[in-house]
């Protein structure tokens, strides 16, 4: 996977994480696991904390991977929303 695709996938996952955390269909256990892992990543106990630039980059990379994992796992519990095109307008979401 190219770095550009990976950055786009991470950005998309981060944007989708907050609504999925609020969604009642996503199991509470999955939300709790993701929350605990996020707290561990941003906690002061850091693996590469003493290296100036790498300390921040590993946190960003781990949080991005966590968001991608959470969106993938939550997607198994939330049914997709159908999208259909209406004549003369943009795409409309139907449930």
Residue-wise pLDDT tens digits, 68-79: 889 889 988 887
pTM to 2 decimals?
0.64
Look over the chain and give the mean of its residue pLDDT values, rounded to a whole number: 76
| SS3 state at 95 | coil
Maximum Cα interatomic distance, the chain, rounded to a whole number of Å: 58
Mean pLDDT within 17-41: 89
> Is residue 88 scored above 70 in pLDDT?
no
Rg of the chain over all Cα atoms, to the nearest angstrom? 17
């Amino acid at each position: 996977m190219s770095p550009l695709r990976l950055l786009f996938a991470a950005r998309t996952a981060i944007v989708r994480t907050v609504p999925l955390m609020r969604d009642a269909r996503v199991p509470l256990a999955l939300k709790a696991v993701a929350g605990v892992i996020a707290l561990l990543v941003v906690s002061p106990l850091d693996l590469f904390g003493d290296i100036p630039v790498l300390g921040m980059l590993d946190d960003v990379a781990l949080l991005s991977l966590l968001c991608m994992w959470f969106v993938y796992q939550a997607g198994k519990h939330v049914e997709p929303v159908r999208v259909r095109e209406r004549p003369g307008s943009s795409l409309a979401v139907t449930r």
